[in-house]
Amino acid sequence: MTDSRLIWCHGSLAAPWGRKSTALARTAGRLGLSMEAPDFRDLDGPDQRVERLADALAQETRPVILAGSSMGGYVAAAACARSEVAALFLVAPAFFLPGYALDTFTGLPPAVTVVHGWGDEVVPVDNVLRFARRHRASLHILDDDHSLANSLERIDLLFASFLESCRGRA
């Protein structure tokens, strides 16, 4: 697994290295993985971000693990249609929202974990239930809102478990 490329896709209004991504990068580091976090803030829409990510992965020969939050979760999942991805970890992914080109996701890896908040005021929990049901994703719904700011410890534990399971499959 240490030869894998781990990429974090930040949300629409977030910076690449926010509280969540920094915590998850520390967890990845303890497990021997370095996490990248490209900056997509110069791009207006989610599908422009998908294009940039897919282009960046076009020549990648190592296994790729994508993680993302909100719009970044959508970007990570959508990029799977154009790039081979070994595993996905999605936090409050922005699925089935107006202005996002895809509502059908293809090329997803067998390992998909989704974490979402019951009280998410941006992405209705039903959207994530629909995605998880359709793709048989591992789903964790927490008592929190879209930011999941009160659940960072739990997300960190889920991420560590997810990465450990990736190691087991490698």
- At 170 the pLDDT is 54
Is residue 62 exposed (0-12), middle (13-18) or buried (19+ Cβ within 10 Å)? exposed
What is the mean predicted confidence (pLDDT) over 113-121? 98
**CA distance linking residue 31 with residue 109, whole number of Å:** 21
Provide the 3-class DSSP secondary structure of residue 42. Answer: coil
Question: In what helix (H) or strand (E) does residue 78 lie, and over which residues does it extend?
Answer: helix 71-79
The domain locations on the chain are 5-169
- At 84 the pLDDT is 94
- At 134 the pLDDT is 96
What is the mean predicted confidence (pLDDT) over 35-61? 95
- At 3 the pLDDT is 86
Predicted TM-score (pTM) of this structure: 0.96
For residue 34, give the amino acid letter.
S
pLDDT digits (tens, 9 = 90+) for 126-154: 999 999 999 999 999 999 999 999 999 99
- At 124 the pLDDT is 97
Locate 43 and state its tokens.
Answer: 């791009």
What is the mean predicted confidence (pLDDT) over 48-75? 96
Locate 136 and state its tokens.
Answer: 């048989």
Does 14 score more than 60 pLDDT? yes
Categorize the per-residue pLDDT at 2 as very low, low, confident or very high, splitting at 50, 70 and 90: low
For residue 18, give the amino acid letter.
G
Report in angstroms the alpha-carbon separations of 5 from 28, 62, 114, 170. Answer: 11, 6, 19, 13
Q: Which CATH architecture has domain 5-169?
A: 3-Layer(aba) Sandwich (3.40)
Label the pairing between strands 87-91 and 35-36: unpaired
- At 167 the pLDDT is 80
